[in-house]
A and B are shown apart, each in its own frame.
Chain A
Amino acid sequence: MDSRKNDDLEAEIQSHLRMAAQDKLAAGQSPRDARDATLREFGNISLVKEVTRGMWKGASLESFLQDIRYGLRTLLKTPGFAVVAILTLALGIGANTAIFSVVNAVVLNPLPYPQPDRLVALFQKYSEFPKGSISYPNFLDWQRMNKSFTAMAAYRNSGYSLYGRGEPERLHGEMISAGFFDVLGVKPLLGRAFAADEDQIGANPVVMISERLWRRKFGGDPNVVGQRAILDDVGRTIVGVVPDNFHLKIKNFQNYMLNDIYTPVGEFGDKRFRDRGSAWGMNAIGRLRPGVSYEQARQDLDRVSRELGAEYPDVDNGIGITMVPMREEIVGEVRPVLLLLLGAVGFVLLIACVNVANLLLARSTSRRREFAVRLALGASQLRIIRQLLTESILLGLTGGLLGLLLAKWGTGVALAFVPQSLPRSEEIGLDTHVLLFTLGISVLSGIVFGLAPAWKTSVSNVGTTLKESGRSFAGQRSRMQKTFVVAETALSLVLLIGAGLMLRTLASLWRSDPGFNPHNVILFSTAAHESLTQQSPAAVRAYYRRMHDQIARTPGVESSSFEGGATLMQDDSENYLWIVGTPKPAHTSDLPLFLVHSVEPGYLKTLQVPLRSGRFFTDQDNERTQPVAVIDESLAEKYFAGRDPIGEYLAHPGTGPDQQPPAQIVGVVGHVNQWGLGQDGPEALRNEVYFPFWQRDDKSMVANSRFNTVYVRTSPLGTPSIATLRQRLLQFDSGLVVYDSETLDKVVAASVASKRFTMMLLGAFAAIALLLASIGIYGVLSYLVGQRTQEIGVRMALGAQRSDVLRLIMSDGVRMTLLGIGIGIAAALGLTHLMRSMLFGVRPTDPLTFGAVTIVLAVIALLACYVPAHRAMRVDPTVALRYE
């Protein structure tokens, strides 16, 4: 192809030379002179060929490179402009890249397991609780009876005390079914997962440990498999090491802590765990058979639960199975927040683009003549637009590159503040998708901010531009600049309102009364040595009375209470209870569920929960006295509407020798928020019952003797640190492990962490937007003032007062600002309802937020107007007119 074209060109040139020589011969020159003259006139043949060949290879590429070279030169000629534009874009693109890298990792990328769309999370469905815990016998039946799963596996949160490797240490872990890692498709780093025969009562005790623990406590010994680890009182054989890159953040799995220990759930022999009617914080995962749809699987599970309901009507009647696609379970909750943030940061980029477009427009005045001349010399309008767009895309790409660096640094910083609850945060990083995204938005923003100015510049009328000879009133362009100012005012107002609504949400969350006073309260958990469960009930009680005294006698402790049930905003514990006197349903599973607390008399004082009527527990409510109970006001209202609950009885379901006697209600206390600030709505379980810690029956006293949670109210002055308390407790029992210590304030704060994070980011974006918008307004007005210097000079020469000039310029700014605010409010009214699910105690159209934010924006915009207007006022007519 190319060689044929080369031959053709050669022939063309030869024919040219022949014809030229012949003409010279005909004119009477000698053949020798004719040839020499021809060659001289033609010039450098090989150079002509080369330049001509240059026309063949994609003319577009050639001129594209030319555009780039030209663009770079132009930008380097105005470095101030280039730096401002690039920094503005870097900020916008960087913020977008950072948020997109989060959205990409958390929401868009498939889960890091093989065939992740086949994975589901499984829960037992109660009437009040779609995602409740599963009872172990039910789970075994689901596993056996279903027809749509390749495999199912159960897991339940657990804690272990590790002995014999330095100081005893409390470790988090999970009890899992043998097939758990197979379901996920996760391979152990070393060794193997559990075998089916290890997943049952009486099996040889085995354990899998995390890579972290393996390195920390076993020195990364490659021969760790087969060694023994003493966990609680059991020596377990290590069969496998779980890689640290395995993450799974679902209910009851890695909720707060990373897991270090895995044991087979089937060997857990507690009789109550194997009671079909009780569920002990166990959930399950499953892998669907290939080709089975979610709907088919759901129908299959419905059949299973119906059959179980028929077979065990007392406890399984009305109990269903909830199946949630794994991806939905992991990221479903954060998806709307992340998309909101992505939208918000998109606004920031738009504002950045508008600012750069403004700069370009201002600059284009000086270049209009350049382009008018080029147009006159035959360049097409399209060609000029392309040239200008090449320049702006160059700016976009440079800004993008810088933005990428900003994002890399920024995500690193932001991840430190990311709430623990953000799933998949470990996967966040700059991958190909993110890089493509950044490239895409860099080019796109280059086009967005470049197109309008390029269009304006290129359509300049040759005649008028050249006639203007440098003085430009630029009517059209200033109209476009004003439009830009209006747009960015509107965009930043929307962002400010979004941030304002989140701020108000947090404020009302903080103001919302959780029903208890978390200030100056510490809570921690204790794990006693396994041998305590071998002791008599009396000995266990004595042990805990001594522990109580030890805590109470620590200086600075005002009051304290054990909690053997639902810990506030951290976990929960529910029981079925029957209110004696109400109609008793045929099945236990039809009884209402109650949040159950097991506390000491000091609880009320420690948490400052108000007593509504009757009395709270006293030291007299112990193992030797009649069982009593206290209920919260919400339960009283729901089940005793109009009646006095005091004196009524609450009975535990079930019959037989283990049956506990009914407890008499002696008091009503205020409702406490169990689930986290803002999460105590009518859809949440709100019935709360308190039983005295010391009235636990002998059996459960011993069975539950190992673990305990303690609330301590400290005096505001001379607060004992958690370390002091731990030390005191270790003096009391050196085998005791104290763990999960935290101030209650922090626990409460953690329950709003994701909302706070959203607010912080939205606030940051809004601040950037406000900054960029005020720079934009300032820039445009300064430019307009500059354009009108002569006009102002004339006006002042003709007798206009300085205040008239100020008013003239200010009125321009005020008009733009007001228009922007109007449009912004309209847009915000349309958009904020998308945030409804994230708001608390404030409507999406909250007038206070709208009003306050508008005032802030207006004040800042007016300040941005005032500076150039003030400068205009100072114009000296004689100087201004001299420019003429």
Chain B
Amino acid sequence: MKSQYQNRIELLQGTLDLLILQTLLWGPQHGYGISQVIRTQSGEVLQVDTGSLYPALHRLEKQKWIKSEWKLTEKNQEAKFYQLTAAGRKQLAEERSRWEQLSDAIGAVLKNPVIG
């Protein structure tokens, strides 16, 4: 339990948006589902705090990148499902390429041998 906690990485603002949008690419999902998907897909490294998740979902909805709908889950329970909009898909593509640029850049810096 303790080691798992230490391995958790605080998500940077903006990055969570990217992860949420990416998760929804596979289909509509509710808040609990999203947090589970991110956790399992990151190999239990990324823990999404509900205090970040719900504000992010509501903010993304306000920006019309996602939309929501109450539906029944497989287990026949009421849940609020979120779904990507067309604008959300575009946003996702943009954020992804920016992220890749940054990670390449940082990677390049880190790969350079230390001088001086």
Contact = CB atoms under 8 A, between A and B. Distances in A.
A44 B49 CA distance: 11
B51 A47 contact: yes
A57 to B, nearest CB: 10
Interface string B40-60: 000000000111001101110
B75 interface: yes
A644 interface: no
Contacts of A20: 32
A55 B80 contact: no
Contacts of B15: 377-378
A15 B32 contact: yes
A479 B79 CA distance: 57
A43 B58 CA distance: 18
Contact of A55 (B58, B70, B77): B58
B109 interface: yes
Nearest to B49: A43
B62 interface: yes
A59 B15 CA distance: 18
A59 B59 contact: yes
B51 A15 contact: no
B79 A15 contact: yes
A609 B26 CA distance: 103
A855 interface: no
B98 A375 contact: yes
A467 B13 CA distance: 23
A379 B75 CA distance: 38
A340 interface: no
Contacts of A19: 30, 32-33, 73, 75, 77, 79
Contacts of A52: 54-55, 57-58
Given A20-B32, A59-B62, A378-B17, A51 B78 contact: no
Contacts of A9: 54
Most B CB contacts (10 A, CB to CB) among A12, A51, A59 go to A12
Contact of A462 (B13, B18, B62, B102): B102
Contacts of B33: 19
B28 interface: no
A378 B62 CA distance: 17
Given A48-B51, A48-B54, A376-B99, A56 B32 contact: no
A712 B101 CA distance: 90
Contacts of B101: 376, 462-463
Interface in A1-40: 8-9, 11-13, 15-16, 18-20, 22
A55 to B, nearest CB: 4
Contacts of A15: 30, 32, 77-80
Residue of B51, B57, B62, B99 most packed against chain A (CB within 10 A):
B51
B80 A376 contact: no
Nearest to A467: B105
A462 B54 contact: no
Contact of B31 (A8, A16, A51): A16
Contacts of B80: 8, 11-12, 15
Interface residues of A, number: 32
A56 B62 contact: yes
B51 A378 contact: no
B102 A11 contact: no
Given A462-B101, A467-B109, A51 B77 contact: no
B27 interface: no
DSSP class of A's interface residues: helix, strand, loop or mixed?
Answer: helix
Nearest to B13: A377
Contacts of B102: 376-377, 462
Interface in B5-37: 12-15, 17-18, 30-33
A42 interface: yes
A466 interface: yes
Contacts of A16: 30-32, 50, 79
A376 B14 CA distance: 9
A54 interface: yes
Contact of A376 (B63, B79, B98, B108): B98
A43 B50 contact: yes
Nearest to B116: A884
B109 to A, nearest CB: 7
Contacts of A44: 51
Interface string B64-106: 0000001001010111100000000000000100110110111
Nearest to B18: A378
A1 B57 CA distance: 19
A377 B55 contact: no
Contacts of B106: 466
Nearest to B12: A377
A19 B78 CA distance: 10
B103 to A, nearest CB: 9
Q: Which of B55, B57, B104 has the most CB of A within 10 A?
A: B55
A731 to B, nearest CB: 93
B95 A378 contact: yes
Contact of A12 (B31, B104, B109): B31
A55 B62 contact: yes
B50 A462 contact: no
A43 B51 contact: yes
Nearest to B31: A16
A376 B99 CA distance: 6
Interface string A552-587: 000000000000000000000000000000000000
A51 B105 CA distance: 33
Contacts of B18: 378
A20 B15 CA distance: 24
A466 B101 CA distance: 11
B59 to A, nearest CB: 4
A13 B79 CA distance: 9
Contacts of A59: 59, 62-63
Contacts of A51: 51, 54-55
Contacts of A56: 58, 62
B2 to A, nearest CB: 15
B33 to A, nearest CB: 8
B13 A378 contact: yes
Contacts of A466: 105-106, 109
Interface in A43-91: 43-44, 47-48, 51-52, 54-56, 59
A451 B109 CA distance: 32
Nearest to A53: B58
| Residue from the set B13, B50, B70, B80 with the largest chain A CB neighbour count within 10 Å | B50
Contacts of A378: 13-15, 17-18, 95, 98-99
Contacts of B104: 463
A12 B68 CA distance: 11
A91 to B, nearest CB: 40
Nearest to A5: B58
Contacts of A375: 98
B104 to A, nearest CB: 7
Contact of A377 (B14, B32, B63, B79): B14
A55 B99 contact: no
A375 B62 CA distance: 21
A462 B108 CA distance: 13
A789 B78 CA distance: 67
Nearest to A462: B101
Contacts of B73: 19
Nearest to A23: B36
Contacts of A463: 101, 104-105
8 contacts: A11-B70, A12-B31, A19-B73, A43-B49, A51-B51, A52-B57, A55-B58, A466-B105
Interface of A: 8-9, 11-13, 15-16, 18-20, 22, 42-44, 47-48, 51-52, 54-56, 59, 375-379, 462-463, 466-467, 469
Given A59-B59, A377-B15, 4 more contacts: A19-B30, A44-B51, A47-B51, A48-B50
List the 5 shortest-distance A-B pairs measured between CB atoms, nearest first: A378-B14, A376-B102, A55-B58, A377-B14, A52-B54
Interface of B: 12-15, 17-18, 30-33, 49-51, 54-55, 57-59, 62-63, 70, 73, 75, 77-80, 95, 98-99, 101-102, 104-106, 108-109
